[in-house]
Structure formats: C-alpha cells, structure tokens
Amino acid sequence: MLKKEMAYFARVTKRLPKHLQNRTDGSRQAQNIVIMGRKTWDSIPPKFRPLKDRTNLIISSQSADSLEGANHEDVLVATNMEAGLKTLLARSQEGKIKPAGKVFVIGGAGIYDAALKIEQAKHVLLTRIWNDYECDTVFPVDIDQAGTNAWVKKSHADLEGFVDESLDDAEVEEQAGGQTVRYRFCLYERTS
C-alpha cells in the first residue's frame, strides 16, 4: 500500500476541472467519475466503498444488488463500457446523478483495454513504479514502446496542468511492505 500514491489518486480523481469548480450560475455541482471492473470494486475495502465524492461506475455481469455496497446513489452498474457510458449520460440528463466532470478508468486490465478502444480516451495518468512485482493485472498497452503505439509521454508541466496540482519533478520514495519503493507520476497523450 503506497500511502502517498493513494493520496495523489484520491486528490486527482476528486478534483473537478477549473471550469466546473465553484459554480455560481445556479447549476448543479459536477462530480468526477471513476470506472472500474467488479474485481477492482471488490478490492476496495468496504468502509471506502463507494469512492467518496465521485460517481462510481462498475462494469460487471452481476447486478448492483449482488455487489456489496453498490446500492448507493453514487454507484451505477453496467454490463459493458458502452452501456455504462450511455447510462451515465442518460442519468445525468435526467438529473439523477451529478453532471460529469472528468472520467477516470481505474482498472482492471479488461476495463483498461475497453477504455483504450474508445475515441474519447485521450490521456493516461500512470504511476511508473521502479520495482518489479508479480502482478495479476497488466496494462494492455506498452505505453513507452516508441513507434508501436499512438501514445506520447508529456512533460512534467503538462502533467501538473492536467492534474491541476504542483508536483515535485522527481521520483517519489516511500516505505511499503518493509522495502523502499520508488515511483514517478506520468501523463501520456494519444497522438492519433
């Protein structure tokens, strides 16, 4: 568990784009959206579900009634990415959920893969960890493989602008599981 990285994740996924912050025109306050698969939902400790101050969209073949904690006003469940996005739009237009701010896809691998196939997916926020670990989820694209994909790593200034936060332009270090873990926050942008 990387506490600094989790705090960054929470800040970034909660923070609305500037044009939606502190609305004075009487319109309803927007809320960012986090999209995840059922396994990612299940991996969140129950006391933190749903992720607070965000609309949670769970992609699952199971119904909301069968997912612990999913019967909440800030949770939607859909069988696939396309159906989920349509449901988000319809519920927002009906005034049943808050208007959408930014949309973040937070895992797992199948959900990442589905999201990367959507034309609207323009950016990837990635925490690059400099240690090797056995994992059960792998990002479906080697985003750093030059010339073989449509993604380019952006500058540190671009990252700060995207997340609307000042960040040290250096690796972050923290202790986890009895070892030092080094990582860096990165932003990638689709080029085509």
Question: Percentage of the chain surpassing pLDDT 90?
Answer: 72
In a domain, 85, yes or no: yes
In a domain? residue 179:
yes
Model confidence over 53-95: pLDDT tens digits? Answer: 999 999 999 988 899 888 888 999 999 999 999 999 999 999 9
Task: Measure the N-to-C terminal CA separation of the chain; round to a whole number of Å.
Answer: 35
Confidence (pLDDT) at 19: 78
Q: What is the pTM of this model?
A: 0.92
Q: Is position 23 within any domain?
A: no
Question: Residue written as tokens 């069988």?
Answer: 79
Residue 153 tokens, joined:
């790593």
Q: Does residue 23 or residue 110 have the better pLDDT?
A: 110
Q: Could you tell me the CATH number of the domain that includes residue 73?
A: 3.40.430.10
Partnered with residue 181 across adjacent β-strands are: 174
126 or 26, which is more confident?
126
**For the chain, what is the domain count?**
1
**Residue 152 lies inside a defined structural domain of this protein:** yes
Residue keyed to tokens 């990367």: 116
Count of all residues that appear for the chain in the document: 192
Pairing mode of beta strands 179-190, 172-176? antiparallel
Provide the domain limits for residue 76: 3-16+30-190
CA-closest candidate to residue 118, choices 145, 148, 88: 88
36 in any annotated domain:
yes
Give a yes or no: residue 24 inside a domain: no
Indicate whether 99 pLDDT > 80: yes
